[in-house]
Amino acid sequence: MTIRTRFAPSPTGYLHVGGARTALFSWLYARKHGGTFVLRIEDTDLERSTAESVDAILQGMTWLGLEYDEGPFFQSHRFPRYQEVIEQMLAAGTAYHCYCSKERLEQLRAEQMAGKQKPRYDGKCRHGVAQPPAGVPPVVRFKNPEDGATVVEDLVRGRVAFQNRELDDLIIARSDGTPTYNFTVVVDDMDMRITHVIRGDDHLNNTPRQMNMLKALGFPPPIYAHVPMILGPDGARLSKRHGAVSVMQYREDGFLPEALLNYLARLGWSYGDQEIFTLDELIKLFDVTAVHSSAASFDPQKLQWLNQHYLKTGDPAHVAHHLSWHLGRLGVDPASGPALPEVVVAQRERAKTLAEMAQNSAFFYREPAGYDPKDAAAHLRPEIAGPLEELRARFAALSEWTAPALHAAIDAVATAHGLKLGKLAQPLRVAVTGRALSPPIDITLALTGRERVLQRLDAALVYLKNLAPA
């Protein structure tokens, strides 16, 4: 049997981390078993679904690298098919027309509530309606089995049994003919021959209904794995109020996709005490049956730790690819300066995120907006003009623009003026980068390039000349 899994988001917002986690699990399951991963957009709720959300979901999937083998299939394109299956079920007697008015259903509900019963449809139209009321468009209900139990052998939750008599006859088509959510999922899982449904455990109560409908259609229900939701650090369901919940917000905040994936896989799942997993390792080792059935809490610090790990150890060219996007957001053209992988190597020890790395690296590519006032006050003082001028001359004369040659030049000038290296390096750093914080000065200068360094030293000398004498 070929394994077929799916991710079935409703496009009513961005791709959030909970969705990304179930998508990752479905993707890993398919990859591990040489199966197929299907993307299905559940956009039957035409009012709440938007094209922007579809785009946001697709972008999130692409950024995470969760490539799908089939789809995206849109439920909104499949209405004729749903209609066909409804007709088929009506003909087979596994569904029926119900003419009960809203008023009757409301009254029934009120009576059941008053009698402390669980509100449910009483099956009035289940055995046929002698005389359908004129002019009343009926809804279609599924004829749910009345006896026995439906058992979900859930890969995460274990065995969960539901009494069929607790499940009432669910509406599968509204009076305007449009299919309902639980029904479209069933038709799609059947038509897409889904073998494993991995989804949030907020859907667990839908599962016995969906299984019964699949059985009525003669299709063996898939295997289910209901993954617990993600909580914020305070124990409440993860939401915007806890900070970023959208996958693309993590991109904007400067996270690498592999850090987020690693983090989401480890959230509620463990393999010994291993924390770092490459995607290939996850494909090999991740086991959905070992996901904890209790909810997991999101720990932003751990995600940040993983991000730093991947920034520090990742292939510089790969990190550079992501850094380039962040520089672009700052309006910096990465082609106008040093090779990005070299910048990554120089910067990666001191940045927690790509956004920070981009901020710290813009000076390589364009003039700094000005000196940091505090750093300038501390380091750009009139007495440093002489040594900086001498440095400028030496730099201009260097036969090769390399870190060791630059280092030697700085050393020589510092010694000649009786200055500790730092007393010269800091003013130089502020002059060239605008701030007192950068990679080692020789590397900073080597990457910035001779032309830019000389220009910026000239500007600093003008600045120093214009300072009011102390």
User: How far lies 344's CA from each of 57, 92, 321, in Å?
Assistant: 29, 65, 10
* Residue 203 CB, nearest approach to ligand GLU (Å): 5
**In this structure, are residues 364 and 344 in contact, taking their beta carbons and an 8 Å threshold?**
no
- Residues 38/73, Cβ–Cβ less than 8 Å: yes
> How many residues are given for the chain?
470
Q: Please report, for residues 369, 378, 380, 381, 387, the alpha-carbon distance to residue 374 in angstroms, rounded to integers and kept in the order given.
A: 14, 6, 10, 12, 21
* 185 lies in the site for ligand GLU, by CB under 6 A: yes
- Size of interface with ligand GLU, in residues (CB under 6 A): 7
3-state SS, 134-170, equals CCCCCEEEECCCCCCEEEEEECCCEEEEEEHHHCCCC
Q: Is 11 in the site for ligand GLU (CB under 6 A)?
A: no
Whether 240 is catalytic is yes
Q: Which is nearer to ligand GLU, 9 or 221 (CB)?
A: 9
**One of 8, 279, 296, 357 touching ligand GLU (CB under 6 A):** 8
Nearer to ligand GLU, 203 or 423 (CB): 203
Q: How far is the CB of 263 from ligand GLU (least distance, A)?
A: 21
- DSSP class of 226: E
- Pick between residue 8 and residue 413 the one whose CB is nearest to ligand GLU: 8
Give dist(CA 410, CA 424) in Å, integer.
8
CA atoms of 341 and 343, how far apart (whole Å): 5
Stretch that binds ligand GLU, among 3-11, 268-276, 327-335, 448-456 (CB under 6 A): 3-11
Q: In b/e form, how buried is each residue of 113-123, taking b as 16+ CB within 10 angstroms? A: eeeeeeeebee
As to burial, measured by CB atoms within 10 angstroms (0-12 exposed, 13-18 middle, 19+ buried), residue 297 is: middle
Contact region for ligand GLU (CB under 6 A) — 4-12, 142-150, 169-177, 423-431?
4-12
Of the candidates 118, 143, 240, 284, the residue annotated as catalytic is 240
**Which of these segments, 2-10, 55-63, 220-228, 443-451, binds ligand GLU (CB under 6 A)?**
2-10
Residue 122 backbone dihedrals phi, psi, to 5 degrees: -90, 0
Among 203, 215, 309, 366, binds ligand GLU (CB under 6 A): 203
Question: Does residue number 109 form part of the binding site for ligand GLU (CB under 6 A)?
Answer: no
Q: Is there binding between residue 450 and ligand GLU (CB under 6 A)?
A: no
Which one of residues 14, 28, 36, 42 is an interface residue with ligand GLU (CB under 6 A)? 42
Using CB under 6 A as the binding rule, whether residue 38 contacts ligand GLU is answered as: no
Q: Which residues are catalytic?
A: 240
Contact residues toward ligand GLU (CB under 6 A) are: 8-10, 42, 185, 199, 203
